[in-house]
Structure 1
Amino acid sequence: MEEIQERLLGNSKKGRLEKIGKSISFICIAIIVCVVASILYFVTSKGLSTFFVDDVSFWNFLTSSVWSPGNVGEDGQPLVGALPMITGSFLVTLLSAVLATPFAIGAAIFMTEISPSTGKRVLQPVVELLVGIPSVVYGFIGLTVIVPFVRSIFGGTGFGILSSTFVLFVMILPTVTSMAVDALNSVPRHYREASLAMGATRWQTIYKVVLRSAMPGLLTAVVFGMARAFGEALAVQMVIGNAALMPGSLVTPASTLTSILTMSMGNTVMGTLENNVLWSLALILMVMALFFNILTRWIGKKGAMK
């Protein structure tokens, strides 16, 4: 009888603890949802106020190449063209991703297929080290090494899209490499064994079996790297030149959405046009972050369907 009572008391305590745990988890999830919703609402409302409060043309904002929020054009519209910053952000993102992808996939193949033990022992610490370096250090190295190198080789001031591409290439390389390694490791071992048993060489197995099977994961790695590059601020700001002009070439000073935001946000007054257009740039960044997130989910679903 006593044992039955002890069991009943124990079960009741476990039930109460389980209810408390569920309540705490629900409260934490609710707080996270509220914080995310508040951020989305705040950035969206501030970003859209440029068009609904200050009567700025949305089309001119996206297509005009003149950025001077304190001045007005001949048509009476403020000179708040975001096209130079949007172009600069996409250029440095795409170029850095194109440059980093072959190196990242090559390193991942070496670590998983060619020399797994040596590759992990040599490259894994390097990748982890690159992840842990702060952005300001990358920017300072770019300012003291990459900018003079670009200036001496390609001419110009050294500041521009090309210098930013080199800096972002190093910054996103560990992200793409780590995710590419996970994607290659997720390929079942019997795929490789079946290919080798049918007479394929190791390189044929890597190219025609492993890489094709891991393609959704590799594409996800590239998209994550692009998302990291698109949102990087400090390192890019130090080497791009921060000129709100359409990039004439890869070696002329330019700007990105993040560089203009970090430079100008502290010099504006909340509620003014100069401040609202910066929130509009932040809204573009948030929309692009959501786009990259949706794209990775779509790639994952396509890979799961296969």
Structure 2
Amino acid sequence: MVFKRRHKEKLIEATLFWIGSLTIIILILICLFLFRDALTLFSTHSFYSFVTGSLWYPTADPPLYGLIPLLLGSVLVTFGAICISVPLGITSAIYISEIASPRVASFLKPFIEILAGIPSVVYGFFGLVVLAPYLQLWLDLSTGQVALTGSVMLAVMALPTIISISEDAISSIPSSIREGSLAMGATNWQTIYKVVLPAALSGISAAVMLGMGRAIGETMTVMMVTGNAAVIPGMPEGIVESVRTMTATIALEMGEVPIGSEHYHALFAVGSVLFIMTFLINLAADIIKKKYRFKLEGS
């Protein structure tokens, strides 16, 4: 019996190992496929002009593949989304975890999870027919399909991720820490922002980074509501101007380009930049998480 149990455990361990290894292998193959086609562009096109170019005109003669308008468009829309979603998300998580009654919390949590399951095309359609005309009228714009519209919709889409993970991080703090703070004479609010939030900071920072990753990688919504104008946005007036993101560019143009053409490889190069940005965001989240966890354990 002992031998049989050990054999079964070894089999389970080997299965899990190979499944994990297969995941890594698939990721490596995706990277090789992505970067192989991206690097092909630079055999005929200058790498410097790609990363510093201010014009994206792939159908011009000669074609111009400048990354800057697409990069700044993505950064502007994502930054606006994070500015909206992070304060709302963290305060909502605090309310659900620390303030709301169990009955209210049990109602809000499933509602937030439902928001996470709504398809992005539905958010895009809502932004196109409701939010964009409203912002156009309210701000007296020539069109409502601007970066601000995309930021608002991406903020709504990022909220479920930020709220859920932040709420889990806050709820995981042992009750003894709260009780100790209250026993020292701190009020409930002082306990929340001086004790609970610092203790949950690693989880909250991970939630923010994952929300940022969701925003920067979104395609359909920004393609429908940002106007798709491949121009360098002004600062700060660019928030009410039409922009084009990297994801929208790939989605709009990939279906129309001949396979193996220079334009085709330029889109892979844009995708490679997007992949690197997402990787760096996740890496930053991991570093922040480890840093604050070390501080808390050391204290």
State TM-score, norm by structure 1: 0.90
Matched, 1:219 2:205: yes
1:171 aligned onto 2:157: yes
Match of 2:240 among 228, 251, 265: 251
Structure-2 separation of matches of 1:209 and 1:163? 36
Hey, what's the Cα distance between the residues in 1 that align with 2:172 and 2:9? 35
Alpha-carbon deviation of 1:224? 0.7
Are 1:156 and 1:252, in contact at CA under 8 Å, matched by a contact in 2? no
Superposition deviation, residue 199 in structure 1: 1.4
Aligned to 1:301: 290
Matches within 5 A, 1:54-65: 54=44, 56-65=45-54
Return the letter of the residue paired with 2:209. V
Counterpart of 1:69, as a letter, is: P
**Contact 1:104-1:173 within 8 A present in 2 as well:** yes
3-state SS of the aligned residue for 2:211?
Answer: helix
State the Cα RMSD in Å: 1.6
Q: Is 1:148 paired with 2:133?
A: yes
Corresponding residue of 1:159: 145
2:109 is aligned to 124
- Residue number in structure 1 paired with 2:12: 21
SS at match of 2:259: coil
**How far apart in 2 are the matches of 1:288 and 1:172?**
17
The residue type paired with residue 34 of structure 1 is: I
How far apart, in 2, do the equivalents of 1:59 and 1:201 lie?
57
Partner of 2:84: 99
Question: C-alpha distance in 2, partners of 1:105/1:23?
Answer: 40
Deviation per CA, 1:271-294: give whole Å up to 9, x if none: 211001000000011101111121
What is the letter of the counterpart of residue 110 of structure 1? Y
2:47 maps to a residue whose letter is: F
Letter in structure 2 aligned against 1:292: I
- Structure 1 residue matching 2:60: 3-state secondary structure: strand
CA distance in 2: counterparts of 1:300 and 1:222, whole angstroms = 11
Please state if 1:201 is matched with 2:187. Answer: yes
Alignment of 1:232-243 (within 5 A): 232-243=218-229
Task: Determine the C-alpha separation between the residues in 2 that align with 1:32 and 1:134.
Answer: 26
Partner in structure 2 of residue 6 of structure 1 = none
Structure 1 residues 192 and 67, CA, compared in 2 at 3 Å: closer, same or farther?
Answer: same
Counterpart-to-counterpart distance in 2, 1:198 and 1:19: 51
Partner of residue 139, structure 1: 124
C-alpha displacement at 1:39, in angstroms?
0.2
Aligned-pair CA distance for 1:125: 2.1
In 2, distance between residues paired with 1:188 and 1:24?
35
Aligned to 1:67: 56
**Contact kept in structure 2, 1:180 and 1:221, CA below 8 Å:** yes
1:25 Cα offset (Å): 3.0
Equivalent in the alignment of 1:49: 40
- % identical aligned pairs: 38
CA contact 1:110–1:119 (8 Å) conserved in 2:
no
Superposition deviation, residue 12 in structure 1 = 4.3
Given the alignment of the two structures, is residue 260 of structure 1 paired with residue 249 of structure 2, yes or no? yes
Distance in 1 of aligned mates of 2:164 and 2:104: 13
Query: Any conservation in 1 of the 2:205–2:289 contact (CA below 8 Å)?
Result: no
SS of 2:96's equivalent?
helix
Structure 1 gaps, min length 5: 1-9
CA deviation after TM superposition for structure 1 residue 186, in Å: 2.2
After TM superposition, the structure 1 stretch with the greater mean CA deviation from structure 2, 10-19 or 261-270, is 10-19
For the 8 Å contact 1:143–1:239, the answer to whether it is kept is yes
Which of 216, 219, 230 aligns to 1:230? It is: 216
Equivalent residue, structure 1, for 2:65: 80
Secondary structure of the 1:70 match is coil
Consecutive unaligned residues in structure 2, runs of 5 or more: none
For the pair shown, the structure with the greater C-alpha radius of gyration is: 1
Please tell me whether the aligned partners of residues 227 and 243 of structure 2 are also in contact (alpha carbons under 8 angstroms). yes
Please tell me whether residue 109 in structure 1 is matched to residue 100 in structure 2: no
